[in-house]
Each structure stands twice: as structure tokens, then as C-alpha cells.
Amino acid sequence: MFQHILVPLDGSKRAESALPVAASIARATGGSLLFVRVVSLPTDHALYVTEPFVLPQEIPATECQTASAYLATKKQAPEFEGIPIQTRLLVGMPAQQILSYMETQEIDLIVMCSRGETGLKRWTRGSVAQNVLRHSHVPVVILHESAGLLGDQHPTKRRPVRVLVALNGSSLAEKTVQPAALLSNALSEPEKGLLHLVHVLRIPERAHEAEERSAAFQLDLAVARTHLRLAEESFLENAHTHAGCLVQASVVGAREIASGIIRAAEDGIPATAETEARSACDVIALTTHGRSGPERWVLGSIAERLLDGTRLPLLVVPSSWDAKPYLQDALATPASVTS
């Protein structure tokens, strides 16, 4: 898992904030990196391009040469020593080209910043990161442009990088646990990672204290706790999945799911039922589609609200995704790669 990691770049420092995180994951998994840069087409061409193709005459040669030189420079940077790296220059609309090229490669993970910049063109959450989230078939790590470097969260390594995993009792949501553990372990080295499994139990808008303590609410609470316990046990039973990653679990109540997830991650939740000590999380992980009774978690109602509502990095795992046990050397170097 996470053997082949794609990092979209546009020449900006913002986009480059994804590089240390991608490098940490690649080192931890023995994986490789693929740096992709997209040169934008003139407006009259951009609406019609969906596949990678030969550079048209309308694209200035100097722009392509500059982009190629940029990729070559990044590839040779000392911080990536020992990590296999490929580069690829594409032309067209960034989100479309990233997704299209991803489909031609055995990509396991995309790591990108939520906003980049190239000249007067800006990669906004709505135009690139959001579209990649909507259509990617592999997990995506989204870093907020103003949140600093995730890999530098705990430079002294005094505590692991905590990942809040949002669950709702569905098997689809539990697909997030394995990649979240790998991400936490990779960014916490030499310490073991830490997951906090969280089930946000929705409280009706007009509920008052008596209703929240009603038999129906208590039943929902018991079911949520049972789901979390089973998810935690399943995780711990598979040593090859968690690789020593620590795990905690909590049920929290909230009027709205996304805001409940954000509050639990940013403000922290008690480490145990016996203590009021709270530990904030560093990453929020969730699947793009889950179900808990009548409540459906769909991209647009949860993941995109989190993208807009928190500065914490997100790990978003598509519900259709299945981890693939690629060998470390499975990705052959394509002839069209720019080196």
C-alpha cells in the first residue's frame, strides 16, 4: 500500500508543502514518487482536453522548458535522496490531467496542497483539490495552504502524529482505518502512530437534555460504542495492518456531522472515559461515502465541508478503493516521463 505516490506541483511554495509529507510516506513504505506538473492550455483549448497529449504549438516552448527544468530540479533535491522519483509534464486543465494520468499509472496515493499558484492562475479548492477529491479512485491527502508542514508538526517526535478516523458504523467507512494507520506511522517515525476512532452521533436539532437521555438516544449510543469496539478489535487483530499503531476510540454527539468531526479533531477528546485530558488531532481521515441509518456521508456534504471548515490535513479514501499489494518495483518507468 502507498507504494506509488503522485504529487501535483505548479511551481509554487504552497504546492511544494506536499513534498515532505509525500517523501516521509515513501521512505516509510519503500515507495516511489511521481511529480506531475500541468502546463495550462489557452482558454479556447482547455474545455476540450481530457487526455494527456502532445504539446500544441500554442504553448510557448519556454514555458514547457521552464516547467521541465523545475521538475528536474525538484527530482534532484537532496531531501529525496534514495527515493525513486519520476516526473511528468502534462498540458491542459490541472484537475482533469492529474486524474487522467493517475488512471494510466498504478498510483496508490495522491498528496497535494489545497491551493497552488502559477503566474496569475490559482489552483483553488474548487478547481483542483475539490475536483480531485470528487473523482479520484485512490486515497488523497489534502494539506491546507496556510497550515504549515504536516511533517514538522512534532519535530522532536515527543508524540506521534494523531489521526482522527471518522466512522459511522458502516464497513465502507472502516476502509479508512488501514490507510490512516499507515499515514500516522509514516509521519510519526521513529515513534508508532496513533489513531483515534471517532463515531459522531447526530443529535436532533431540537433535542433537549431529557430527549438526549431518552431510551432511543441511549440505544443509538450503545450501538455506536459497539461498532467502535468491533472496529478497534478488527484493527488490532491484524498486526500487518496496524504495524504497532496505537488506537483509541470515542463516541461524541453533535448537531451536525462535519462540525462534530472538526470540533473533536481540533479541540481534542478525552483520551479515556476516566480523564478530562484532551489531545487534539493532526489529521482527519474519512471515506467519501458511508451510511448510518438515514444519514448518508457523501462527498459534498461531509468531505467538502471539512475541506472548507478546517485547516487540518485530510486523508480522504474513496469508498470504492481497494488496497493493492504492489511490489516495490512494480511501476516501470514510462518512456514519456520527463527526467
* pLDDT at 9 (0 to 100): 93
H helix or E strand, kind and range, residue 187: helix 177-188
**297-338 tens-digit pLDDT:** 444 568 878 888 888 999 999 888 876 554 333 333 333 333
pLDDT band at 1 (very low <50, low <70, confident <90, very high): confident
pLDDT band at 184 (very low <50, low <70, confident <90, very high): very high
H/E/C letters for each residue in 243-289? CCCEEEEEEEEECCHHHHHHHHHHHCEECCCCCCCEECCCEEEEECE
Please check whether residue 101 is in contact with residue 53, taking contact to mean a CB–CB distance below 8 angstroms.
Answer: no
Give the pTM. 0.81
Among 63, 3, 59, 53, which residue's Cα sits nearest to residue 28? 3
Mean pLDDT score, 176-188:
90
Q: How far is CA 8 from CA 20, 71, 133, 135, 290, in A?
A: 13, 11, 13, 15, 28
* pLDDT at 263 (0 to 100): 94
32-36, 76-80, 118-122, 268-272 — which one is most confidently predicted on average?
Answer: 32-36
Decide if pLDDT at 98 tops 60.
yes
* pLDDT at 305 (0 to 100): 84
* pLDDT at 218 (0 to 100): 81
For 216-230, 270-284, 286-300, 310-324, which range has the lowest pLDDT when averaged over its residues? 286-300
For 24-33, 160-169, 170-179, 330-339, which range has the lowest pLDDT when averaged over its residues? 330-339
d(CA 178, CA 155): 24
Q: What is the separation of C-alpha 54 from the centre of its chain, rounded to a whole number of angstroms?
A: 31
Q: What is the separation of C-alpha 185 from the centre of its chain, rounded to a whole number of angstroms?
A: 14
> Concatenated DSSP letters for 70-102?
HHHHHHT-GGGTTS-EEEEEEES-HHHHHHHHH
Residue boundaries of the structural domains of the chain: 4-143, 153-317
Please check whether residue 196 is in contact with residue 248, taking contact to mean a CB–CB distance below 8 angstroms.
Answer: yes
Q: How many residues does the chain have?
A: 339
**23-77 tens-digit pLDDT:** 999 998 899 999 999 987 654 444 444 455 444 555 567 888 889 999 999 999 9
* pLDDT at 40 (0 to 100): 77
Please check whether residue 290 is in contact with residue 315, taking contact to mean a CB–CB distance below 8 angstroms.
Answer: no
Decide if pLDDT at 291 tops 60.
no
One-letter identity of residue 310: T
| CATH code, residues 4-143 | 3.40.50.620
| CATH code, residues 153-317 | 3.40.50.620
